[in-house]
Amino acid sequence: MWNDLKYYRQALGIHMLWNSYPIIFFFRDGLRIGPSGSVFTMIFWVIGFLLIFPKNIFSTIYFPNRVLSFFWLGFIAVAWVYWQYYPGINGSPTGSKEMLTYVLPIAFFLLMCYYPNDKTDILLKSLILYTLFASIGLLYVILNDPTWHIGERAGIRYAANTAQSNPHTYANNALMTIVASMIMVQRTNSFLYKLVYLFLVFFSVVVMILCRTNTSIITLVVITFVAFMFNSIKVVKALFSKNTLKIVGGIAIIISLSLSQLTFVTTAVTSNYQAFSSRFGRVIYTITGVQTSEPTAGEGGIDHSSLYRVLSWKYATDFFFNQASIGTIIFGEGYKSQFFDVPSLEAWVNLGILGFIFYNGFWFLLGMTNLLQYSYPTNPASTFIAYFSLLLFVALASGGQTIDISAWLTQAFFIRFSGLKSSKPVLALSQT
């Protein structure tokens, strides 16, 4: 245990970089600790880098997934060239902030290569504790917020703009807890640990319901379907084992007592279900134009976030591919010319065919790597990435930007641990 402390330290630093915002929002906006804005974020990231940094930089280096590295670094190189030589219609951004978008993810990627491949179980255990702390922090803040009420989406209000909050951040954080806990359930023989992990799954599902975000809930359904499809025999055996039946029975009793004795729990479940079904109906109407019943369509029948993505697709098909010149179609409109919230398409519109190939090629190959992990998992972190990254595949057509520091930090984490075996060759720089 004591010998593994340095790996827990490095693992904590890794999580502080690729999953930083839930904790940042809790301390900065929820507790109002530290400076506001990006200054606190930079301080948080610097601490993460210090925790990851190895005691000896001439120690063993572990190779990442090389094919994914090629496409990821290729896209970053294309983006950098466009930034320098092909500005968009609004001009290219300047200054150190844009440079950090490139420097920090690559530095993070290189430092992770010092983390051993055979210690990924520690990476997952520390992730569970890290994400659990963030979820508890969310509940603490909203329960002490006099303006928050049951039925409202759970999120910590920004200190600079109290009219807005961040439910997606905490829903995704809870999804991480669910996926990591379910993987650890499979890796422990202790009944007590299994009970703890399953309780964390239940707790995190409650947090997701409170956050009420379509993407994370849909992803959880997809993850459940994929896990059952590739592991149906194991799942059936596990579901009907004695320990599982005991645990499920205990959780069912707790849920029944909560719903019958705690009125606010029933109110929360009912109000969140109504709000989710109403918003989901607006999304369907906005995308397809098919009118649903009034209770599900909601007032106005339009979901504005979905409408923005529909308009992005319309711009690409009506103008970019039909009216733009051949040169524009080949080379794009320039660095950060358009912001679509549809990153798979934005890569082409802004960075041309080469940017499209590198960006979408990365996600295609990650998907192929994931398919192997579903059937033949190699290590806990790789299995976690295979399931959790389904959230990002959903977001390829629904949210996010192609050139974004937080997205690149997450992709760097995926590249480092996806599809690797403990026996993967390493580079020993020194024997000391």
| pLDDT(297) > 50 | no
| pLDDT(161) > 80 | no
Helix axes 214-230, 191-211, angle to 10 degrees: 140
Span 405-423, average pLDDT: 89
Nearest to 19 by CA among 149, 150, 129, 160: 129
In the Cβ-directed half-sphere of 14, how many Cα atoms lie within 13 Å?
Answer: 30
| Distance between CA atoms of residues 94 and 351, nearest Å | 18
| Distance between CA atoms of residues 210 and 206, nearest Å | 6
Which token pair is 303?
């979901």
In the predicted model, what is the mean pLDDT of the chain?
82
Picking from 136-150, 238-252, 326-340, which range would have the lowest pLDDT averaged per residue?
238-252
Q: List alpha helices for 316-342, DSSP H.
A: 326-331
| pLDDT(274) > 70 | no
Phi, psi of 63 (to 5 degrees): -75, 140
Which token pair is 194?
């299994």
**pLDDT, tens digit, 9 for 90 and up, residues 366-395:** 999 999 999 888 889 999 999 999 998 877
| End-to-end CA gap in the chain | 23
Span 118-139, average pLDDT: 95
Contact 68, 316 (CB under 8 A): no
Picking from 69-73, 76-80, 106-110, 299-303, which range would have the lowest pLDDT averaged per residue?
299-303
pLDDT value of position 418: 92
pLDDT value of position 172: 95
| Distance between CA atoms of residues 45 and 349, nearest Å | 31
Span 62-71, average pLDDT: 93
Nearest to 193 by CA among 137, 243, 241: 243
Nearest to 411 by CA among 379, 378, 374, 369: 369
Nearest to 112 by CA among 37, 181, 16, 232: 16
Instruction: Output 363 or 246, whichever has higher pLDDT.
Output: 363
Distance from the Cα of residue 303 to its chain's centroid: 23
| Distance between CA atoms of residues 242 and 250, nearest Å | 12
CA distances from 344 to 12, 174, 265, 362 (A): 31, 25, 40, 11
Picking from 43-47, 163-167, 208-212, 284-288, which range would have the lowest pLDDT averaged per residue?
284-288
Span 255-277, average pLDDT: 60
| Distance between CA atoms of residues 65 and 416, nearest Å | 6
| pLDDT(413) > 70 | yes
Instruction: Output 291 or 238, whichever has higher pLDDT.
Output: 238
| pLDDT(311) > 70 | no
| Distance between CA atoms of residues 95 and 226, nearest Å | 44
Picking from 221-225, 269-273, 281-285, 363-367, which range would have the lowest pLDDT averaged per residue?
281-285
Instruction: Output 401 or 427, whichever has higher pLDDT.
Output: 401
Contact 36, 387 (CB under 8 A): no
3-state secondary structure of 19: coil
